[in-house]
């Protein structure tokens, strides 16, 4: 059981890990908060500004429907952006750290 002898506190202090942690937290919580706020604009807006929700944009399609639809697109966009970011940034930082620790 080599795992038990690992000095976790030392890895946690490793500048590469600190960097990984900092960038990950900023990205994850930042985008999570942004997505949540955007989501709650839907029920709040529909309740508070029914006039805006009823504005016809194309034919009979109104702002309300397009805004609800945009929730799907925004969620997908965040998912794809996160995926691209994680593949490029966090996976790379993780691999660099693992290389340095000779754990890979």
* CA atoms of 49 and 65, how far apart (whole Å): 14
Per CB under 8 A, does 100 bind another protein? no
Please select the residue that binds another protein; options are 19, 37, 68, 99, rule is CB under 8 A: 68
Lay out the site mask for another protein across 23-62 (x = CB under 8 A, - = otherwise): -x---xx-xx--xx--xx-xxx-xxx-x--xx-x-xxxxx
61 DSSP β-pair partners: 58
Shortest CA distance to 52 belongs to which of 38, 40, 41, 62?
62
Q: Decide: is 3 part of the binding site for another protein (CB under 8 A).
A: yes
Cα–Cα distances in Å, from 29 out to 34, 36, 72?
8, 10, 19
d(CA 94, CA 36): 27
- In whole angstroms, the minimum distance from the beta carbon of 86 to another protein comes to 6
Alpha carbons 63 and 82: distance in angstroms, whole number: 28
Residues lying near another protein in the complex (CB under 8 A): 3, 6, 8-9, 11-12, 17, 20-21, 24, 28-29, 31-32, 35-36, 39-40, 42-44, 46-48, 50, 53-54, 56, 58-62, 64-65, 68-69, 71-72, 75-76, 78-80, 82-83, 86-87, 91, 94, 97-98, 101, 103
């Amino acid at each position: 059981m080599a795992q038990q002898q690992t000095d976790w506190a030392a890895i946690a202090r490793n500048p590469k890990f600190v960097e990984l942690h900092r960038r990950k937290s900023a990205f994850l919580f930042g985008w999570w908060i942004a997505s949540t706020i955007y989501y709650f604009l839907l029920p709040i807006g529909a309740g508070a500004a029914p006039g805006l929700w009823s504005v016809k944009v194309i034919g009979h399609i109104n702002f309300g429907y397009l805004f609800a639809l945009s929730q799907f697109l925004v969620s997908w966009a965040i998912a794809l952006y996160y995926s691209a970011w994680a593949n490029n940034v966090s996976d790379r930082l993780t691999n660099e750290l693992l290389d340095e620790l000779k754990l890979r």
